[in-house]
Structure 1
Amino acid sequence: MAAVVGLSLGAGTAFATPAGPGVKGTIISQTTFGGKDYILRKITIPPGQSTGWHFHEGTLYGFVQHGTLSHFDSDCEPDGVYKANQSLTEPSGADHVHIGRNLGRTDVVLDVLYVLPHGAPLSDDAPNPGCDFQ
């Protein structure tokens, strides 16, 4: 169970893609144990918006509270559609570039647990891999 989150935005294949307007992330709690940061975050993605292309340096576990999240990988193909009460996992590493999109008419609300190396950013922006969407 993970989710999309690393908020970024931009256009084209040469630039990082930040999150769309109105995308919000709020840290609920965080702790460090055994050299890893555990961060629980609520993310809201308005209709028609996305997380931007990104990857994570650790594993994410997400749960969809509301709405439907469409998740795409770097070959521009959907690798999952997650509805309310479903969970997802995002693996770590720059070879797992992805984007989460809200293609619906209501907000997508996610609870996301980040398990990251201590001090790592929540996400790393990535350029659009050549997809015709952001």
Structure 2
Amino acid sequence: MAYSKRKLFQKRRMRVRNKLRKVNAGRPRLSVHRSNKNISVQLIDDVRGITLAAASTLEKDFGLVGQCNVEAATRIGTAIAERARDAGVTEAYFDRGGFLFHGRIKAVADAARDAGLKI
């Protein structure tokens, strides 16, 4: 039986998340989601089950609604690093989900690292 693209994506996402969870216990998770039109990032504390900080191109402050390119991803990465610092988080582990670490996803990670978040 052939799997759909969505099912394969979900399997890949859970495989990545479970491997990272074993290695990086105790640190918050920087989770990234991208669609064709937007990109969003959350800093999640899995132990307490809460979101510590979030940033998205859907926020009107950025002026990036409907944009999902490398430039927008870079600005979101910088914003999440600043918000993480305000929340008292200095290091996290990067959860790329089912997406390849390439292009926009890589731009988010690099921008967060450059802004001082230890990933």
TM-score (norm 1): 0.28
The higher-RCO structure (CA 8 Å, 6+ apart) is: 1
The answer to which structure has the higher strand fraction is 1
Larger C-alpha radius of gyration, 1 or 2? 2
Q: Which protein is richer in helix relative to its size?
A: 2
